[in-house]
Amino acid sequence: MSSEPLLRVENLKTQFFTDAGTVRAVDGISFEVHEGEIVGLVGESGAGKSVASMSLLRLVESPGEIVGGEITYRGETLFGLEEGPDGELRERDDMLSNEEMRTRIRGNEIAVIFQDPMETLNPVFTVGGQLREFIELNRDLSGKEARKEAIEMLREVGIPDPEERYEEYPHQFSGGMRQRVLIAMALACEPNLIIADEPTTALDVTVEGQIIDLVDELQEKYDTSFVWVTHDMGVVAEICDRVNVMYLGEIIEQAPVDELFHDTKHPYTEALLNSMPRPDRTVGELEPIEGVMPEAISPPSGCRFHPRCPDAREVCQRVHPENKEVARADGYPHNAACVKHDVFDVGYDESVPLDKEPQMTASTPSAGDDGE
C-alpha cells in the first residue's frame, strides 16, 4: 500500500439540473483507490454509482454537471474548484482541460468497461476495427501494430479464433463474448485504472462467473486498479479489496471487504447483506429491504435511509450523520455514516424509535428506478 493513492475523490458532488428541480445524484462522496486494488462501489439502482464513475472521467452528460469536490489522479487534478476574486467558484488552473482529459486520461490512463454489452459496441463497425481504433488512439501504435495488438487482446480475453472474429460485427457475438470485447478494449489501452460499470449485470450467471474469473486473472497479470460498480454483494465479496456502499448519492459505509461483511456497521449495508441469497440460508430467511429508494430530487431529512431503516429513531429524522471512522481494519479505516455510532453527541439511545410510517413499496409506480 503506497502512501499516495492512485485516485483520490474528495467530497465529489454531481447534480442534474432538470425542470423538476436539482437532482443531487452524487452528494459529497470521498474515496480512494490505491495501486493494484479493486475498489467496489455498491448500491441499489439510483444510488448514483454510475454518475459517480462517469464523473471521474468528466463525462457526465447534460443536464448533469460536477458542481463541487476534487478528483486527483496521480497528482493531476482531474477536477478542482477554487474561489475566484469575485467570490464565485471557478475551475482551478491546474485542472486538466477537456482536451487534456481526452488525450491524456480517457482510455490511456482510465478506461471504462460499460454495463450493457449489447448496446455499447457500434453495430456498423467490425469488432476488430473498433478495438484497433482505441488502441491506435491511446497507445501511439501504427495501424498494423494496433491490429496485431487487437487480435492478441481478443485472444487474451478468451475469444476463440481471434483472427476471424476480428473481422466480424458485434451482432455476430453473444453477450458474454461482447463483454469480453469490452474488457479487451479496456485492457488493450494499458490504463492504470479501469472503471467497471456493472459489467456483469446484463449477463447470465454462468457467463458472469466466467467474466469475473477472467477479470481476476487479468488484474493479477497486469496489476491494474479497478473501481468496480455493482449492486451485487455477491460479486463484491468475490472480487473487491475494499468497498464503498452508496445510498442516495452518499457513501454511507466504507471498509475492507472482509471487515464489511463480518463487522457491518451501517443498517443499510446490513439490510443489503440480509437480502442477498446465501448458501447458509433458505429463501424464506431472506429479508428484503422495505420500500424503495426515494428519489434524489427530494431526499428525506436527516439520515437519508431513515424511512427504510429498521433501527431508525426520532433523532435520525433530524440529524444528518457524517461518514466517519468507527473502527480500523488492516490499516484502513472503517467508516460509517450512522448516528448509532455517535451515541454521546446526538443521543441516539435516548431517542424514541420511529413508528413505521406508511411506506412506499416496490410497486409504487411514482418511485422511478432510473435515477442513476
Sites of contact with other proteins (CB under 8 A): 57, 59, 102-103, 105-108, 111-112, 114, 116, 119-126, 133-134, 137-138, 169, 171, 182, 185, 189
Considering beta carbons, is residue 112 or 337 the nearer one to other proteins?
112
CB contact at 8 A, 85 and 95: no
Grid coordinates representing 250 are 452518499
Q: What is the SS3 assignment for 44?
A: coil
Q: Which is nearer to other proteins, 137 or 276 (CB)?
A: 137
Q: Select 171 or 262, whichever has its Cβ closest to other proteins.
A: 171
C-alpha cell at 277: 441469497
Least distance in Å: CB of 124 to other proteins? Answer: 5
Which three cell numbers mark 299?
431526499
Q: Which is nearer to other proteins, 74 or 102 (CB)?
A: 102
Q: Phi first, then psi: what are they for 251, rounded to 5°?
A: -90, 125
Nearest CA among 139, 75, 144 for reference residue 104: 139
**3-state class (DSSP) for residue 263:** coil
The amino acid present at 275, given as its one-letter code, is S
Copy the grid coordinates of residue 141.
Answer: 501504435
CB of 160 to other proteins, least distance (A): 18
From edge to edge, which strands make up the β-sheet containing 21-33? 21-33, 7-18, 64-73, 76-83, 89-91
2-6 LR contacts (CB < 8 Å, sep 24+): 2/34, 2/35, 4/75, 5/32, 5/33, 5/34, 6/33, 6/34, 6/35, 6/37, 6/73, 6/74, 6/192, 6/193, 6/225
Nearest alpha carbon to residue 41 among 307, 257, 327, 278: 257
Give min distance, CB of 138 to other proteins, in A: 6
Of 1, 39, 44, 30, the residue nearest 304 (C-alpha): 44
Residue 367 C-beta: closest distance to other proteins, Å:
24
Select 55 or 254, whichever has its Cβ closest to other proteins.
55
Beta carbon of residue 171, minimum distance to other proteins (angstroms, whole number): 5
Q: Quickly list H helices, 140-174.
A: 143-156, 162-166
Task: Output the nine-digit C-alpha cell for 297.
Answer: 430530487
Q: How far is the CB of 106 from other proteins (least distance, A)?
A: 4
User: Looking at beta carbons only, is 215 or 339 nearer to other proteins?
Assistant: 215
**Shortest distance in whole angstroms from residue 252 CB to other proteins:** 27
- Measured from the CB of residue 102, what is the shortest distance to other proteins in angstroms? 5
CB of 281 to other proteins, least distance (A): 37
Nearer to other proteins, 81 or 194 (CB): 194
In the complex, the smallest distance separating the C-beta of residue 122 from other proteins, rounded to whole angstroms, is 4
Q: Nearer to other proteins by C-beta: 122 or 364?
A: 122
User: How far apart are the C-alpha atoms of 65 and 314, rounded to whole Å?
Assistant: 34
- Residue 207 CB: number of other CB atoms within 10 A? 18
Beta bridge partners of 325: 335
Q: 174: Cβ–Cβ under 8 A, 6 or more apart, which residues?
A: none
Q: Which is closer to other proteins, CB of 118 or CB of 354?
A: 118
Q: Which amino acid is at 89?
A: L
* CB nearer to other proteins: pick between 25 and 185: 185
Cell triple for 60? 457526465
